[in-house]
Amino acid sequence: MIEKPSADTLAISLQTRAWALGLEAYAHRLEYARRPGKVRMSRAGEDPHAAVASYAPYQWPLLEIDDRRWPDAPIVLITATMHGDEIAGALTLYHRFEEIVQIASEARLALLCFPLVNPSGFENGERYGMDGAPPEGNNDYLRYRTFGGEWIWDLREDHSITEWRWSSDPTLPNPPALPAETRLMHERLKLIDWPRVVAAIDLHQDRITPGVGPGAYHYGYGDLGRYADIVSRIAKRVPILADRDFGVDLSQPTNTMRTDARGFIVRHDGTSSDLWHRLGVPHAIVAETSGATPLEDVIEVNMEWIRGLCRLATQRRP
Ligand SMILES: [Zn+2]
């Protein structure tokens, strides 16, 4: 049985363990607007501790771990559990942290890591944070300008654009109202020295596609043949969900995506990995495993990606 700690315990544990290894670790304070009816504090009026109880859940720690021992080393970026019910990413970091630091160190990469992007969703077992999410969800990082002058977030089949901007860019004609965890991630990601980032991975789990058995698939960009070795290692652990459709409602072709023979989807839909690709990160990956995949297996799949990307990032150095 894989232990799921509270969001606070996870942040405190990882912060302490990062410090013990000589890494920087800072818990940013993630603050949510108070929305009546959104929060499960309905009995607060009857509770003598209401003042404390109704305040505390609006603030959550969003931990950032940064290995600054080699200030010029190439960076491997890991983000996890943006969707709060997709707990395996955060648990991969929680249960395998020391091993991950060692893998990055041996590849002479500086680890930059956000182990739990959506702490309130994680704690509540919900996809989005406690302020809910606008129609674009909380994986909202990019806007594309089409040749028709329209700003859109999902390019689907037509990849011709005139420019792109961060979705938090105040110069956008209609900047979206981003959820709190997404806003904070935008602030932090804007501080990164992107030319140093050689690999970046966002750990997800697919809990929305109906009727999928255990297995893994992935989002990537560029020459996907580079990942054949990683995919074959993953295939020893779980089935690769190749040549099949994914989406909330598979009867709606406009909202489904199909994996290729190695289980990859290439999609420019304004997500964080799409942003990393636009920023020139050579390896920008999303690891997906189905909700039916046992947690133990998901963690091993995530570890194969982390190991494999560190291997690839090392190989491409002179
Ligand atoms: Zn997800």
The DSSP bridge partners found for residue 29 are 61
Please report the pLDDT score of residue 43 as a whole number: 44
How many Å apart are CA 61 and CA 29, to the nearest integer?
A: 5
3-state SS, 237-248, equals: CCCECCCCEECC
- Tell me which long-range contacts 125-128 makes (C-beta under 8 A, separation of at least 24): 125/84, 125/85, 126/84, 126/85, 127/83, 127/84, 127/85, 127/86, 127/207, 128/83, 128/84, 128/179
Q: For helices 88-106 and 7-20, what crossing angle results, to 10°?
A: 10
- Ligand 1 geometric centre to CA of 205 (Å): 5
- Ligand 1 geometric centre to CA of 85 (Å): 8
How many Å apart are CA 226 and CA 37, to the nearest integer?
A: 48
How many Å apart are CA 121 and CA 117, to the nearest integer?
A: 9
- Ligand 1 geometric centre to CA of 148 (Å): 31
How many Å apart are CA 120 and CA 275, to the nearest integer?
A: 24
Q: Is 295 helix (H, G, I), strand (E, B) or coil?
A: helix
- Ligand 1 geometric centre to CA of 291 (Å): 10
- Ligand 1 geometric centre to CA of 288 (Å): 8
- Ligand 1 geometric centre to CA of 317 (Å): 31
Please report the pLDDT score of residue 278 as a whole number: 96
- Ligand 1 geometric centre to CA of 209 (Å): 11
- Ligand 1 geometric centre to CA of 83 (Å): 5
How many Å apart are CA 25 and CA 15, to the nearest integer?
A: 5
Here the tokens at position 182 are 């997404």
- Ligand 1 geometric centre to CA of 117 (Å): 11
Please report the pLDDT score of residue 249 as a whole number: 84
Q: For residue 286, which phi and psi values (nearest 5 degrees)?
A: -115, 125
How many Å apart are CA 100 and CA 2, to the nearest integer?
A: 18
- Ligand 1 geometric centre to CA of 89 (Å): 10
Q: What is the pTM of this model?
A: 0.92
Please report the pLDDT score of residue 295 as a whole number: 97
10-residue mean pLDDT profile of the chain (318 residues): values are 93 98 97 59 45 59 96 96 97 98 97 97 91 85 93 83 94 92 97 97 94 96 97 98 91 86 95 97 98 97 98 75
Domain boundaries, the chain: 70-315
How many Å apart are CA 161 and CA 148, to the nearest integer?
A: 9
- Ligand 1 geometric centre to CA of 86 (Å): 6
How many Å apart are CA 299 and CA 294, to the nearest integer?
A: 9
- Ligand 1 geometric centre to CA of 146 (Å): 26
Distances (CA, A) of 300 to 108, 238, 287, 296: 22, 9, 11, 7
Please report the pLDDT score of residue 57 as a whole number: 64
- Ligand 1 geometric centre to CA of 299 (Å): 15
The CATH H-level (homologous superfamily) assignment of domain 70-315 is Zn peptidases (3.40.630.10)
- Ligand 1 geometric centre to CA of 143 (Å): 19
Instruction: Answer for the pair 296, 2: CB distance below 8 angstroms, yes or no.
Output: yes
- Ligand 1 geometric centre to CA of 290 (Å): 10
- Ligand 1 geometric centre to CA of 201 (Å): 12
